[in-house]
Amino acid sequence: MILALETSCDDTCAALVTDEGRIESNVISSQGLLHSRYGGVVPEVASRRHLELIDAVTADALESAGASLDDVKRVAVTRGPGLIGALLVGVSYAKAMAATRKLPLAPVDHLHGHVTASTLGEDPVQAPYLCLVASGGHTFLARVDEPGSYRILGQTLDDAAGEAFDKGARLLGLGYPGGPELDRLAREGDPDFFDFPRSAPGGSSSLDFSFSGVKTALLYAVRDLGETQASDRRADLAASYQRAIVAALVDRTAQAVAREGLVRLAIGGGVAANSELRSSLEGLAGTLGIRIWIPPPELCTDNAAMIGAAARFVDSLPYPGYLSLDAAARL
């Protein structure tokens, strides 16, 4: 079994995954509530909390899997990208866990984790496939020809889709993290009430995204409506805003499928937990006659099982070479 750890942002995560991709346990301790009073993740607070939680979260993952450290043959950890202090907690802990038993250690790229989330479970996606990753820090389309790597075809030029959800939610007075709350509020609104821009930077020859324009459009709409009207139209604003973000993601995905000639599509990242995106992409797959892999929400948002998934496809470092391994805010 692989013991996988993930601490790149504000979730402390540990999981046990087999070499075949079976998830034996997947424990996620979210710090959402802790950071909500600040309206966003405070890096130093996140690092300190990871330090307090990681031992218990790892013990919980072992216990839920009915396993002990004797069953662990490899340790995997997110090396980056992410908050450097937060990453360091996971990397240091993983090194210590591996070194005490002289186990190999697999350093994993967090984004590779999101890309390979759908390779877990009973019905894993097989390469080659197209993957849409939309999270709080990243938004990109990638081509996976073999599961050990991925090639980015297009990415956001400014805000990530999750960032756009969070900033929009804040403009609408919703709590943090805003994405799930906006998703809920949007269900009560009319997505066609406001006409927010669906940007496609670079036109049809590009697969890049841009979400800063839609965010500004929402800001102006709220300002123009005034406090009372904006409050009355909150659900319509949320639904129309979500529609614009989802449409931009879906349009680019459709374009990528056509351009790359792929018949398998997987999605990942926190925004892949969005209900409208999930149903829209399912519809798209039906229309295009391709297969889609939509992981359960807990494998879309940050988790350690996906780090274990990616670890199966990367080279592990033997003991004691990894003792000099460093976390990296950017890869």
Q: How many residues bind Zn ion (CB under 5 A)?
A: 2
Amino acid at 192: D
Cβ distance to ligand KG4 smaller for residue 98 or 266:
266
For position 90 contacting ligand KG4 by CB under 6 A, the verdict is no
Using CB under 6 A, which of the segments 42-50, 162-170, 219-227, 311-319 binds ligand KG4?
162-170
CA distance 268 to 318: 30
Cβ distance to ligand KG4 smaller for residue 81 or 213:
81
- State which of residues 166, 239, 293, 299 lies at the interface with ligand KG4 (CB under 6 A): 166
Cβ distance to ligand KG4 smaller for residue 176 or 322:
176
Distance set, CA 91 to CA 54, 72, 105, 192 (Å) = 11, 17, 10, 46
Provide, rounded to whole angstroms, the least separation between the CB of residue 63 and ligand KG4.
24
Cβ distance to ligand KG4 smaller for residue 75 or 160:
160
Cβ distance to Zn ion smaller for residue 183 or 302:
302
Binding mask 128-147 for Zn ion (x = CB under 5 A): -------x------------
- State which of residues 174, 271, 305, 307 lies at the interface with ligand KG4 (CB under 6 A): 271
Using CB under 6 A, which of the segments 159-167, 220-228, 231-239, 310-318 binds ligand KG4?
159-167
Provide, rounded to whole angstroms, the least separation between the CB of residue 315 and ligand KG4.
24
Cβ distance to ligand KG4 smaller for residue 62 or 248:
248
- State which of residues 165, 209, 313, 322 lies at the interface with ligand KG4 (CB under 6 A): 165
For the segment 287-306, give every residue that binds Zn ion (CB under 5 A).
Answer: 302
Provide, rounded to whole angstroms, the least separation between the CB of residue 201 and ligand KG4.
20
